[in-house]
A and B are shown apart, each in its own frame.
Chain A
Amino acid sequence: MRMSRTRREALFGGLCLCCLPTLGRAADAFAMEEIGPGIFMRRGIDGEATAENADAIANIGFIVGDEAVLVTESGGSHADGAWLRAEIVKRTAKPIRHVVLTHVHPDHCFGASAFAQDYPTFIGHHGLSAALDSRGEFYRGRLAEVLGAERAGTVVKPTMNVADTAEIDLGGRTLRLTAHGTAHTNCDLSMLDTRSGILFPADLLFVARIPSLDGSLVGWLKEVERLKGMGAAKAVPGHGPTLVDLAPALADLTRYLSVLRDGTREAISTDMPIEKAVQTVGRDEGDKWLLFDSYHGRNVTQAYKELEWE
């Protein structure tokens, strides 16, 4: 491949928030862990989409009920989704009836095409369809440049739109879905497994990997409060360890987002221009997150353009 690594990073134009050098495990170290009763998760790589890792950078997995299987996240590419599907059929013969598309980012929804043969219900936030309309092809093109068109997959639209909340019954196991206000993106969907009490906030919760802001900073802090009120003690973040204690993980996230908000507001109120704010706001968070240097500056940019109109 002629492209340099830096070229690949740039291909995503900063919109795919999933890139950069592989810091995590190699693709061959992928493993499914049963993190709760009938809940299987694969930890995503804390790195960038590459041809080698097939954009397997998000935490993806599935939940088995008495009658059916639900896919919590589809994967970062058709190849990643196909890997997940193979892991599912190794473990259960129950039908895959639901695939959750937690938001528009490619590392979460490009695995969906690998499940087309199961004719599942593809579940998304009511804003996801429009978001895929405007971004899906852009993402597909960029992903195809890295992985090749076949391995990248195609844009799959939700067939069930969650306007506010919804429940899915897998047979003796009810999952409660919540459509959030604009936060990480403008189409974030979270899910609570009522059997285990485990929350699946998807990318509303980043652990270890730096959060990426692509929706609304003020909105995200508001939705964090909503997540706290869901009564879960444990959660499966969109990135990072596959199972964490929710309260401290949300506290870390809140700290980062608050630093970003307060520092950016301060910069705006003192007439610090955006290019300087990018270099100065929130630098103390640098040793607390993986991929900080790659994404923090972009987060400040996003925050600045949101907050300068307050």
Chain B
Amino acid sequence: MKHLAVAFGLSLSVLTSPAWALGAGDDDSERLARWKEIQTSIFGERKLEATEAMVKIDAPNRAMDASLVPITLTMPEKDKITGLHLVIDDNPSPYAAKFTFGPAADPGEIKLRVRVNNYTNIHAIAETKDGKLLETVKFVKASGGCSAPMGMTDEEAMKGMGEMRMKFAGDAAPGKPMEATLMIRHPNFSGMQMNQVTRDYTPARYITKVEVSRGSSNVFTLDGDISISSNPVIGFSFVPEGKEPIRVVAIDNQNGRWEHSFTAPAVSN
């Protein structure tokens, strides 16, 4: 199968078994075994602690659209959080996203939209300042999200690639985190979508890195993969300090690079 040969930025070479072929009928021990394998490949021997308090996943139990499953990750004790990993166990490339938060971040909540290829556990792992890895899990029913063809041609899907928008919610106030939504035009081709005009799979073309910063201060860096939906939309928050614009740099796996700046609402005294 050609799509398995595609090299993904975050992909797991350890996974030699075609995990994507399993799914709805798997029992818990199979799921657990798969998770252990993925866990080791990402975190090595580091210990993961189960938590319900430190990181929470909100996602539909059953996806309406497997190619666009909205996920909200909440980290109530946000001051302790330095990073966040999202793993969709049964996706062909399970390691969906890794967020690294900088000093300008307010890492209490992250929203993103993902593809889900099979009935799967979704794991979120928060990383804390004192080096802990805190894990939580949610089971989601969806199917075909990675291979689902888009309702348009590849050319149409690539129209405006790299265009960005940013929306800010509410007014800025001292000490109050500002919520923002970043939208990026990009097909994020998974490499599993068939284009039979060429009798081949549309090559994977997806965003590998998004850096959001303000002045010299980083808000977050996202390492992305094919599990992120086309036209990625990312919800995040930042500390309302500074007057510089919010700068976004996005890079894809085919040397695409786009940079945009957005003026954030200023704190008025």
- Which residues of A come within 8 Å of B, CB atoms? 2-4, 6-7, 10-15, 130, 132-138, 142, 185-186, 214-215, 271, 273-275, 278, 297-298, 300-302, 305, 308-309
Among the listed A10, A185, A309, which residue makes an inter-chain contact with B66, where contact means beta carbons less than 8 Å apart? A10
In Å, the complex CA distance between A152 and B141 comes to 25
Chain B: interface size category: 35 or more
- Interface residue SS majority, chain A: helix
Instruction: Given A15-B148, A271-B169, verify A134-B153 contact (CB < 8 Å).
Output: yes
Interfacial chain A residues near B195, Cβ < 8 Å: 133-134
* Complex Cα–Cα for A12 and B143 (A): 7
Q: Is B33's beta carbon under 8 Å from chain A?
A: no
Contact with A along B60-73 (1 / 0, CB 8 A): 10111111101010
- Taking CB atoms, residues of chain B closer than 8 Å to A137 are 194, 196
Between A and B, 9 residue pairs with Cβ closer than 8 Å are A10-B24, A10-B142, A134-B194, A134-B197, A135-B149, A138-B149, A214-B151, A274-B233, A305-B231
Q: How far is the CB of A308 from chain B (nearest CB, A)?
A: 7
Q: Quote the shortest CB–CB distance from B60 to chain A (angstroms).
A: 7
**Inter-subunit contact A142/B144 (CB<8 Å):** yes
Task: Contact check, A138 vs B148: say whether CB atoms are below 8 A apart.
Answer: yes
Chain A residues whose C-beta falls within 8 Å of the C-beta of B149 in the assembled complex: 15, 134-135, 138
Cα distance A135–B148 when bound, in Å?
8
List of A residues within 8 angstroms of B167 by Cβ: 271
* B91: interface (CB < 8 Å): no
Q: Find chain A residues with CB under 8 A from B148 CB.
A: 13-15, 138
Nearest chain A CB to B258 CB, angstrom units: 16
For A13, the chain B residues whose CB sits under 8 A away are 66-67, 142-145, 147-148
Roughly how many angstroms separate A4 CA and B143 CA in the complex, as a whole number? 14
> Do A11 and B143 touch across chains, with their CB atoms under 8 A apart?
yes
Query: Which of A15, A273, A309 contacts B231, CB < 8 Å?
Result: A309
Closest 10 CB pairs of A and B: A13-B144, A133-B196, A275-B70, A297-B64, A10-B143, A298-B64, A134-B149, A13-B66, A135-B149, A14-B65
Closest to A213 in B: B151
Distance (whole angstroms) from the CB of A216 to the closest CB of chain B: 9
CB distance from B178 to the nearest CB of A (A): 12
The reply to whether the CB of B4 lies closer than 8 angstroms to some CB of chain A is no
* Residue B78 is within 8 A (CB to CB) of chain A in the complex: no
Given contacts A2-B25, A10-B142, A186-B151, contact A274 B113 (CB under 8 A): yes
